[in-house]
Structure formats: structure tokens, C-alpha cells
Structure 1
Amino acid sequence: MTAPSILLIPGSFGIPEFYDNITEAVKAKGYEIKGLRLPSVGLKDEPRGIPPTLYDDAAFIAKEVTVLADEGKDVMLIGHSYGGIAITQSTKGLTKGERQRQGKKGGIIRLSYITALVPPLGVSSMNILSTIPDENRVKLATDDKGWLYISNIHEAALITLSDYSDKAAREALVEQFQCHSSVSFTNELTYAGYKDVPVSYLFCEEDSCVIPQTQRDGIEVVEKESGNRVDITYVKAGHCPSVTTPQEVIDWIIRAAEKGETV
């Protein structure tokens, strides 16, 4: 059996190092896995230019997928939170089926979402977030270039790490969140990659950020548009299960990857 290569796409404001505990454990199981830092995530301590778009993020992911696919590898994409819309947008022309029709090997075989934003065509991240109650929205501010940053660490920690009881630790983690492109939240989905490949979803039942109803709405979109059932795993966790329930995330990734293994 040949295991797929895995690319893990962080949520907004997130860097791949946030997921090192997950990627290292998955690597130890024999899988190739890499976390990506999206162009839309700007580092707080470095100069930042014009904020990139969702489409820049998708192109960046697609480039990474192409490298693996051209090596003949099957690829599974994992998107957490905002990473969900980014991986959905990125798949055009890169699924294994599409590449096979072009006489090429390798390609995307599965999309896997972790409590993610999964919109229908024509809908943006901001459109989805606007439907979430105000008390569940992280308060953000914008600098003069259009980069978003978290304006209230205490409140953001309560929302994003609602299931983490250590106040000091959760606020320290949120302090590590970076900046994020404001325009990327306004860009609408123009390609529904979930129509083309099987989908897995890690449903976080205690998420106070991407709330359960928002997660259900995304799953319903996928099932309606694709005509296929989503493989759902439920976990009692908040918005950052890689922090609070890491073993469940690791096990879920392995199970999803196993579904995509080929002879």
C-alpha cells in the first residue's frame, strides 16, 4: 500500500509550528506530512507588504501539491478553520482523476477539514463569519496596510481555546497568533474542490469560534453539491483540537490517510 503525502493548512493567523505536535506524531507513523504558512499570514515581527488574497493562498497550495503530484504521489489536504476555504479553492486541475485524464500520475485524493469554513460557490469567509453570534467572534483590528490583528487577547483566548482551562497558557498561545490579510476574508469561493474528491471532517462539538451550526452548514454544502456523504468524526473539543485533544487529531488524520491509500 502507498500512503498519501499530507499537506496541513493552518487557520487564519496561524503558522505551521502551531501544529508541530501533530505533524511529528504523524511522521512517526510513517507518513510524509508538511505544514504550510499561507501567504495571507503575515509575521508580526517582520515587514509586511500588500495583503495577499485567498486566491494567492490557493495558488501557493496548488504549487506545493504540484511538486508532490509530479513525483507521482497522491496528496491529502487538511484545512483547519480558514484553511478549509483555502484548500477548497486550490484543487482545480490537481485531483488524481483530472491528472490521470491528462496522462499524469499523482494528485489530490481527499480533502480533510478540521472545524473549518466550507462555503458554497460565491460565498466568502466573511460571509460565513457574519452569521456567527457576536459573542463568538474574535475581535480584530486592522493596520494601515490592511493586515488584521487580534485586538483583545483575553477575549480571543476564551473563544479559540474555550476548552483549555489554564488561563495563562491559553493567552500565551494566542499571543503567538500572527497577522492575517483582511482581503482574503472577503474573497469569494470560485472553485468547489469538494465536488471532485472524498471529504473527511473533524467536527469539534465544543467549538466557540466556528460554532457547531456553522460546521453543520459546511458539511451540508459539501453533501448537497457533491452528492456524496462526508466522513464525519465527532470530538469533544474547541476550536484548536491540536492543542487540547491532540491524540484525537492524530488518530483522525491517520484514519483519513488510510482511506486514501492505494496499491
Structure 2
Amino acid sequence: MSIRHNINQRSTAQQPLETAIVIVPDAWCLPEHYEGLATACRALGSEVMIVQNPSTRGPMGEGTAPPGLYDDAANARRIIKGLVRERKKVLIVAHSYGVVVASESVRGLGMEELTGVSQGGVVRMLFIAGIVPWEGGERNGSYEGHARARAAGRRDGESEGFMYHSPEKLAECMYSSVPYSQGLRHAATTNTTQSARAFEERLTYAGYRTIPVTYMVAGADRTVPPALQERFIGVVEAEAGRAVDVVRYSVDHCPPVTGPDAVVDCVRRAAGAEGYPNCTWI
């Protein structure tokens, strides 16, 4: 079943659904990157939406500033807020840079914050190899002191404010757990250019401070190395003042494509299969 991005997808078997999963993509990644994951998540009995980050679209034309983090966050917030207004319990699944977008977008939308006000709200966020700046920090600064990650993220070029990587680099860094030829195919079909501005704008609201987090560590990630992911877990715990639910898998940077079963396991866990009282869908 095809997914229309930024348009609500409802199951014909369940009208209306009380839960929703919102997938917030990584930089460089088109919504098509997540369609297989969305199909699997829908089988759990939930409405599923994939956000299209405006910053991941390519040059906008002469005289038009490239979209940035705040454009991405405003777009994601519109979708999430609409679901909350429909009294839905929302699980956000955010991939890498998508964590920055999700964190910026959820001010005032957490289930715990809306207790007594609304039956809906964001119950939990699942971070997949998530990049987590401190509040007031930006994506680029989050890599400070980690030469390996900075080298992997170094752009191959830039045009009109949009960065690009070669398919060969994407195959090597993002799809390292599958044959190289398969990685090249993924890079050619589900990746695109990325606005540099999105990596430079600062996080003004640390949504992970008020909404519980499950963090999926990608143990074979060559883009956001595991040691850096562990550091990001520490950022969440320091800001939130509570432990992060951590799950570790030996997957590369793009498990929604190369290891979807592991991601679905994490979604089930985040959605209540392990008994979380604030998010019990399953």
C-alpha cells in the first residue's frame, strides 16, 4: 500500500484508530526510505504517518532560502498536533537527525503534560541512532570531539545551500550491513540532498526532557558511531533527570531499510509490549 506523505493513513478495518505512529526521517532520507517500516507498524494496529522534512528536498529555486530545522519542526508539529487534537496517543519514531526535528516540535504535546486536558498526546519517543544536541546546541556541534563521526558526515559537495554525498559514500556509511550493490540501489532511490542550514540552527526546546525516550543503539553504525550514541543517551538522561530505556542491536545506520525487524521490535517495546504504563497499545 502506498503511503501519502504528510497525509493521514487510516486502516479500513479500524475506524477510528486511537493510536498513531509518526516517523520523522533522518537527513538525506526521503519518506520512501521508511515505507516498509510503516507497513510493518500499521500491522500493529496503529495509524502511521511519515513526515516529509522540507530540508530534504533539494534546491528551491533562485532567491529562495533553503529550509532549515525550524521548517522541519513546524511541519512535523502540525502533523503531531493534529493527531493529538484527535485524542490519539502518539508514538514518535525519529531517525538520527529526525531526533532533533522531533525534539523541537513537541513543546506542550506530551501525554504527561496534557493530563487532565486532553485524552491524546505524545506518549513516548523512539530514537534510532539519534543525534541529541543539548538545548541551545545544534546538530553540527553535537559531533564535537568525535573525529570519526565528523569524517563520515563530511559532505562531498554543496549546491545552492544543499549538501550532497556520492552514492558510493552513502552505500559505505549508511548501508554497511548489506552488499555494496544493494546499498548503492538504496542510495539511488531513497536518498537525496540535504539543506546545510538544518544542521546549523540551534535546538530551542529539548522535547526529550519531558517525554519518555526509548533509544535504539545501532551497534554497527559507521555514520553515528556507537560511542557517540552512548554519549547522546547521557544527554537525554542529564536533561530529563530520568533513565532512558536503551535497546542495542548490531545494525548499521539505516535499520528501517536494512534491519526492519529490529526496529519493529523496538517499536513494540516503546509502544508498551514491555509494560510501560504510559503507552500500552499492544
State whether TM-score is above 0.5: yes
Task: Give 1:242-261 correspondences, 5 Å limit.
Answer: 242-258=256-272, 259=276, 260-261=279-280
Asked whether the 8 Å contact 2:55–2:69 carries over to 1, the reply is yes
Q: What displacement does 1:38 show?
A: 0.8
Are 2:215 and 1:232 aligned? no
Provide, for residues 64-89 of structure 1, a one-character-per-residue CA deviation record: whole Å limited to 9, x for no partner: 11111111111111110110111011
- Structure 1 distance, partners of 2:91, 2:147, is 29
- Structure 1 distance, partners of 2:151, 2:195, is 22
What SS class does the counterpart of residue 132 from structure 2 fall into? coil
1:59 to 74, 80, 85: 74
Uncovered stretches (5+) of structure 1, i.e. residues with no partner: none
In structure 2, the partner of 1:173 is: 186
Cα pair distance change 1:109/1:132, threshold 3 Å: farther
- Structure 1 distance, partners of 2:109, 2:44, is 26
Are 2:113 and 1:98 aligned? yes
Q: What displacement does 1:257 show?
A: 1.1
Are 2:191 and 1:139 aligned? no
Asked whether the 8 Å contact 2:155–2:163 carries over to 1, the reply is no
**Aligned pair count?**
257
Cα pair distance change 1:76/1:206, threshold 3 Å: same
2:219 to 205, 229, 235: 205
- Structure 2 distance, partners of 1:76, 1:18, is 19
In structure 1, the partner of 2:89 is: 74
Which letter maps to 1:167? Y
Are 2:138 and 1:124 aligned? yes
Provide, for residues 192-223 of structure 1, a one-character-per-residue CA deviation record: whole Å limited to 9, x for no partner: 11111110011011100011111011100111
Asked whether the 8 Å contact 1:160–1:240 carries over to 2, the reply is yes
In structure 2, the partner of 1:10 is: 25
Cα RMSD between the aligned structures?
2.0
Q: What displacement does 1:4 show?
A: 3.1
Structure with higher RCO (Cα < 8 A, 6+ apart): 1
Asked whether the 8 Å contact 2:91–2:126 carries over to 1, the reply is yes
2:175 to 161, 183, 208: 161
1:109 to 123, 145, 157: 123
Aligned identity (percent) is: 30
Which letter maps to 1:254? R
What SS class does the counterpart of residue 115 from structure 2 fall into? helix
In structure 1, the partner of 2:45 is: 30
Which letter maps to 1:175? A
Asked whether the 8 Å contact 2:73–2:101 carries over to 1, the reply is yes
Provide, for residues 13-56 of structure 1, a one-character-per-residue CA deviation record: whole Å limited to 9, x for no partner: 11121111111011112121111111111158x86842112111
Which letter maps to 1:261? T
What SS class does the counterpart of residue 148 from structure 1 fall into? strand
Asked whether the 8 Å contact 1:120–1:189 carries over to 2, the reply is yes
Q: What displacement does 1:3 show?
A: 5.9
2:255 to 241, 252, 256: 241
In structure 1, the partner of 2:36 is: 21
TM-score relative to the length of structure 1 = 0.91
Task: Give 1:77-88 correspondences, 5 Å limit.
Answer: 77-88=92-103
Q: What displacement does 1:256 show?
A: 0.8
Q: What displacement does 1:135 show?
A: 4.2
Asked whether the 8 Å contact 1:9–1:79 carries over to 2, the reply is yes
